[in-house]
Chain A
Amino acid sequence: GDSVTQMEGPVTLSEEAFLTINCTYTATGYPSLFWYVQYPGEGLQLLLKATKADDKGSNKGFEATYRKETTSFHLEKGSVQVSDSAVYFCALTGNQFYFGTGTSLTVIP
């Protein structure tokens, strides 16, 4: 069945460091791919999405490219800030949503 695998955390980075959170997927058909973010004490929010192969989703300096050949959707940001500290979830949807286990990111000043 469909599934998402993302890198385990926690991840701790210094401010202005480069961030990569890996995500790979298994799916039948042509799913859409998403990154959701959960800030402390808040609900899940959509960060970015891509609906077809080679699409790049971007928001708030974060980017992810839908790579069908490697079945990946890695999240990247060139320079993280303290305010980016949160848990990040990779997800896919065909007929329903499947979430990864989440990667906790802490950015220290």
Chain B
Amino acid sequence: EAGVAQSPRYKIIEKRQSVAFWCNPISGHATLYWYQQILGQGPKLLIQFQNNGVVDDSQLPKDRFSAERLKGVDSTLKIQPAKLEDSAVYLCASSLSDKNTEAFFGQGTRLTVV
């Protein structure tokens, strides 16, 4: 079965610019997660979707970050405007449901803000 697909793999932007990341989860997976992983740290949950509804976005900096999951499949995460501290790997993951099931991760998008 195909895994979680993310694009782009790498992105370099200047501060105050905007950027968008795309994720295609494993077919049939209802739950989709976006994580931010800063170098040397564990993944931090930004937002969790169940189908096309938001389950948890308590740690999403909503003044600059936004995410959507139209039709309950693909998802995009946007940052506008970017700050230097947004430099990180952005990981997308999906799971069959939100209850005690393992998550499958994509390769991630490495963002560098200069």
Neighbour of B108 across the interface among A43, A49, A100, A102, CB < 8 A: A43
Within 8 A of B (CB), among A64-89: 89
- Give the tally of cross-chain contacts (CB within 8 A): 57
B101→A93 contact, CB < 8 A: yes
Which B residues are CB-close (under 8 A) to A101?
41-42
B100→A32 contact, CB < 8 A: yes
B47 to chain A minimum Cβ distance, whole angstroms, is 10
| A28, CB-defined interface residue at 8 Å | no
A96→B102 contact, CB < 8 A: no
Neighbour of B102 across the interface among A30, A34, A42, A99, CB < 8 A: A34
Which B residues are CB-close (under 8 A) to A51?
100
| A18, CB-defined interface residue at 8 Å | no
A106 to chain B minimum Cβ distance, whole angstroms, is 14
Which A residues are CB-close (under 8 A) to B108?
43
A100 to B, closest residue via Cβ: B42
Which positions in B face A, CB cutoff 8 Å?
33, 35, 40-45, 48, 55-56, 91, 93, 98-108
What are 7 sample pairs from A and B whose C-beta atoms fall under 8 A apart?
A: A42-B107, A43-B108, A44-B91, A51-B100, A93-B100, A94-B99, A101-B42
